[in-house]
Amino acid sequence: MTSDDPIIESNLIQPCLYETHSHTPLCKHATGMPTEYAAVAFQRGLKGLTITCHNPMPDGFSAHVRMGLDEFDQYVEIIEAAKQQWAGRVDVRMGIEADFFPGYESFLEKQISENAFHYVIGSVHPQVPEYVAKYWLDDPFENQVNYFRRLADAAETGLFDCISHPDLIKNQTAEAWDPQRILPEICRTLDRIAKTGLAMELNTSGVNKRIQEMNPFPAMLSEMLQRGIPVVIGADAHEPGRVGDGYLDAMDLLESVGYQELSFFLDRKRMTVPISVARQSLVAHSQR
């Protein structure tokens, strides 16, 4: 199978999607063990579940929202336990959501290369104290510009498979969020990301945030499509009940701007499935 081959034929209806973005209690702001997330994935007709908790970082970097370096072995163990418990029913995989922050590239490269991750998400979190101390300005528009430039910087490292929740800054600068004003800067960012070949995420949890829409917003998705950037749907589940949440709505949104297929990663290789087939697999399961 190549990265350009659909994983299933369109005349078959079977589970084919993964929850690609989910967490564990080790990050200190999520609840539920991986086996509980897998149970919901099974109930909702998903083929698999990739656990992508926030990566441990050195120097106490935003330690209040991630596992410690000494907890990584436990992370591996609880995922392996879920994998064994759900074998033959839900394909449980180990991934990671890795923070991009200038100065830590060598650490990330070593961490990623030394572990058998199936999927590596690159994230820029503008709300963490280290980011605020380094980049935050009085001008909210300039904060938005800085954020999108950091997304492109992250993509250009070559460390990641996908860039997550790629307009997250709108929730930290909601009072000054003007999509039309920032769109030219976003387009410059997307030009850079498109050259790397990375995917980008449609994060369904955005509907629960200050600006209640998925991340990214529709016009940004449209610009992504024009540049041939693949899309991965993830619910960013911090509790079991959020697994697969909003997937059908996300597919509707993607089709509305012209996307015809979804991507996800196994063994760090991009797999694709037609949106029409992905939708049928979830709807067929819900009708059983």
Closest CA to 280 of 262, 256, 265: 262
pLDDT at residue 267 is higher than 70: yes
Instruction: Determine phi and psi for 219, rounding to 5 degrees.
Output: -65, -35
Amino acid of residue 37: Y
The pTM assigned to this predicted structure is 0.94
Q: Confidence band (pLDDT; 50, 70, 90) for 11? A: very low
pLDDT digits (tens, 9 = 90+) for 12-24: 578 999 999 999 9
- Distance, C-alpha 224 to centroid of its chain: 15
pLDDT of residue 104: 98
Closest CA to 96 of 108, 107, 83: 108
Contact 99, 125 (CB under 8 A): yes
pLDDT digits (tens, 9 = 90+) for 165-193: 999 999 999 999 999 999 999 999 999 99
Instruction: Determine phi and psi for 149, rounding to 5 degrees.
Output: -65, -35
pLDDT of residue 232: 98
Average pLDDT over residues 59-85: 98
Label residue 150 exposed, middle or buried (CB < 10 Å: 0-12, 13-18, 19+): buried
Average pLDDT over residues 195-203: 98
Contact 144, 168 (CB under 8 A): no
Structure tokens at 287: 């009708």
CA dihedral (285, 230, 93, 246) positive or negative: negative
